[in-house]
Amino acid sequence: MIGTDIEQAAALLRAGELVAIPTETVYGLAGNALNEATVTRIFEVKNRPYFDPLIVHVPNLERLEALSRSFPPLARRLAEAFMPGPLTLLLPRTDAIPDLVTAGLPLAAFRVPEHPVAQALLAQLDFPLAAPSANPFGYISPTTAQHVAQQLGEKIPYILDGGACTVGLESTIIGFEDDAVVVYRKGGLAVEAIEAVAGPMRLRPHSSSNPAAPGMLKSHYAPGAPLVLGELNELTQQYSAAHTGILAFRQGVPGIPAERQVVLSPAGDMAEAARRLFAALRHLDGLGLEIILAELVPEEGLGRAVNDRLRRAAARLSAD
């Protein structure tokens, strides 16, 4: 059921149920992060491997601090600059957070979502929410309530509708090693913005097993149809046009019907491209195509995160 009743959503969450909730990044499959039975249900509904940790959502920095054993000055500076927002911090957790949430790791991933509906919901609860993306594991993340309903509608009692996500990419995840910032996942907050506050950073590679943070698996965010990355004009010479779709950055390609092409941003606006990426992949995947051909965007700002998602969506093809 899709609705806008925040009190109903809160009541279900208090009862140990799962609710899909809107955030500015993507829709999350939310449940009480302190209740192991509820967290187990999140993994079951998503068919998510238990070694892949979850993000803990809280309404403010005070609640975040209460659930973390330490809050280093650099982490606090970044939190004050970018929270609420599409930033997730890896911090030492208290014993209140079950091992299941963190895959047994000593660090938990914390986020303060900016979406007003998520904020209003969290304000009504006396517990944090574990909330990975509200989709079957490995598939395209949902950016509208309707996307959630198409994939998980029969498995959860309520989908809280907050409209289309304004960022459209998962949060950027960062941790701290030797007084330096480490980027575990590129996302909806540009690396350049973080560097302006924290200085140079290191990037952690993706993992095929036992990831150190949520969203680090090498193959992820994939449509059902194989996705191939490259130069579009060259790719269209290699693949038959009959059952091919195109995902382009600024302009499409000749020879493919317009209804099978999606241009992320004709104006070259990286924020628009990021916001439209998952919906574009979902649209093309719904056309019954044999293959989707896509190109990378400029490797700058949010383009880094867009390219990260495209590469991991394409990685499934090489892994199969």
pLDDT at 262 over 70: yes
Cβ atoms 169, 92 nearer than 8 A:
no
Last residue of a domain, one of 171, 203, 235: 203
Report yes or no on 165 lying in a domain. Answer: yes
Count of other CB atoms within 10 angstroms of residue 259:
9
Same domain assignment for residues 16 and 75: yes
| Mean pLDDT, residues 164-186 taken together | 92
Same domain assignment for residues 89 and 161: yes
Residue 159, sorted as left (phi over 0), alpha (psi -120 to 50) or beta, turns out to be beta
pLDDT at 319: 41
Report yes or no on 212 lying in a domain. Answer: no
Report yes or no on 82 lying in a domain. Answer: yes
Cβ atoms 156, 13 nearer than 8 A:
no
pLDDT at 132 over 90: yes
Same domain assignment for residues 195 and 86: yes
Cβ atoms 84, 123 nearer than 8 A:
no
Provide the residue range defining the domain that includes 253: 227-319
Last residue of a domain, one of 158, 188, 203: 203
Task: List b or e across 92-101, with b for residues whose CB sees 16 or more CB atoms inside 10 angstroms.
Answer: ebeeebbebb
| Mean pLDDT, residues 57-72 taken together | 96
Give the residue from 46, 4, 11, 51 showing the smallest Cα distance to 29. 46
| Tens-digit pLDDT profile for residues 191-239 | 999 999 998 888 876 644 456 667 655 555 678 889 999 999 999 999 8
Give the residue from 247, 251, 203 showing the smallest Cα distance to 229. 247
Joined together, the tokens standing for residue 277 give 């990426």
Query: What is the CATH number for 14?
Result: 3.90.870.10
pLDDT at 76 over 60: yes
pLDDT band at 318 (very low <50, low <70, confident <90, very high): very low
Same domain assignment for residues 199 and 242: no
Count of other CB atoms within 10 angstroms of residue 255:
11
Report yes or no on 178 lying in a domain. Answer: yes
3-state helix, strand, coil in the chain (%, to 5): 35, 20, 45
Report yes or no on 72 lying in a domain. Answer: yes
Report yes or no on 6 lying in a domain. Answer: yes
Report yes or no on 62 lying in a domain. Answer: yes
| Tens-digit pLDDT profile for residues 15-62 | 999 999 999 999 999 999 999 999 999 999 999 888 889 999 999 999
Same domain assignment for residues 82 and 193: yes
Strands (E), 93-203: 107-111, 129-130, 158-160, 172-177, 180-185, 201-203
Query: What is the CATH number for 294?
Result: 3.40.50.11030
The two beta strands, 172-177 and 180-185, are antiparallel
Same domain assignment for residues 62 and 170: yes
Q: Phi/psi at 222 (nearest 5 deg)?
A: -95, 140
Report yes or no on 296 lying in a domain. Answer: yes
| Tens-digit pLDDT profile for residues 94-108 | 999 999 999 899 999
Q: Model's pTM, two decimal places?
A: 0.87
Mean pLDDT of the chain: 91
- CA pair distance 113, 83, nearest whole angstrom: 8
Same domain assignment for residues 141 and 241: no
Among 112-116, 222-226, 238-242, the range with the most confident prediction by mean pLDDT is 112-116
Cβ atoms 168, 274 nearer than 8 A:
yes
- CA pair distance 100, 229, nearest whole angstrom: 35
Last residue of a domain, one of 168, 203, 238: 203
